[in-house]
Chains A and B, each alone.
Chain A
Amino acid sequence: DIEMTQSPTFLSASVGDTVSITCRSSQDISRYINWFQQKPGKAPNLLIYGAFSLQSGVPSRFRGTGSGRDFSLIINGLQPEDFATYYCQQNYVTPWTFGQGTKVQIK
């Protein structure tokens, strides 16, 4: 199975900050990575697919980068509604696997 190693586990930031979350896959997955946002008690929400394609309706402050094994989710100018947990997920091959998650907290 492909392992997705996400970091950091926790991230403290302020409104307006730019933050970056990284995800490394255990093997080359080309662009087959998605990023999700999950708020407490809610289902995840797809933000980015194909490493850097923005899902419809998602604000442009969310940006994905990377290819191969190393990927990042960048949030430019954190908004109050962005404090949540973020997950990467590979869909290169089944079983699809998720990173451990990054909780973005208010500093």
Chain B
Amino acid sequence: EVHLVESGGTLVQPGGSLTLSCAASGLIFSESRMTWVRQAPGKGLEWVANINGDGSQTNYVGSLKGRFTIFRDNAKNSMYLQMSSLTAEDTATYYCAKVYIAKEPGGLADFHFYNIDVWGTGTTVTVSS
């Protein structure tokens, strides 16, 4: 069974930096695309970033690019989210999740659906003075 555990969430002052960690087990981590999704208190879900298996490809939501960096260490079965210049708007629960690519036959080309199929329990970041 795949298990994802986030850590590193804490209270941090505005303008500060923080790195979140995600420890994975029960999967071939180096072959797994991973992602971060966050949720502000009482709000909806916001996709943050994803990274492919070997770490060579990353994608970010535009509003966070430049402040947030996703990376991984496959030798440690871990993924990270480095965050800088934090503001109150970054206060949220941050979820680490695995992405499974489901392939289905299509008309002209096959479908490749990116499914966020396993989630951690989340780690809470609070940005406040």
Contact = CB atoms under 8 A, between A and B. Distances in A.
B104 A53 contact: yes
A84 to B, nearest CB: 13
Contacts, number: 69
Interface in A41-79: 42-46, 49-50, 53, 55
Nearest to A98: B45
Given A43-B95, A46-B116, A49-B115, A95 B44 contact: no
A2 to B, nearest CB: 11
Interface string B51-65: 000000001111000
Contacts of A43: 95, 97, 119-122
Interface residues of B, number: 24
Interface in A11-46: 30-32, 34, 36, 38, 42-46
B117 interface: yes
B62 A1 contact: yes
A83 interface: no
Contact of B111 (A50, A97, A100): A50
Given A98-B44, A101-B44, A46 B61 contact: no
Contacts of B61: 95
Contact of A95 (B45, B60, B117): B60
A49 B119 contact: no
B102 A50 contact: yes
Nearest to B115: A49
B59 A34 contact: no
Contact of A55 (B114, B117, B120, B121): B117
Interface of A: 1, 30-32, 34, 36, 38, 42-46, 49-50, 53, 55, 87, 89, 91, 94-101
13 contacts: A31-B111, A34-B115, A36-B45, A38-B45, A43-B97, A44-B45, A44-B119, A46-B117, A55-B115, A89-B47, A91-B114, A98-B46, A101-B44
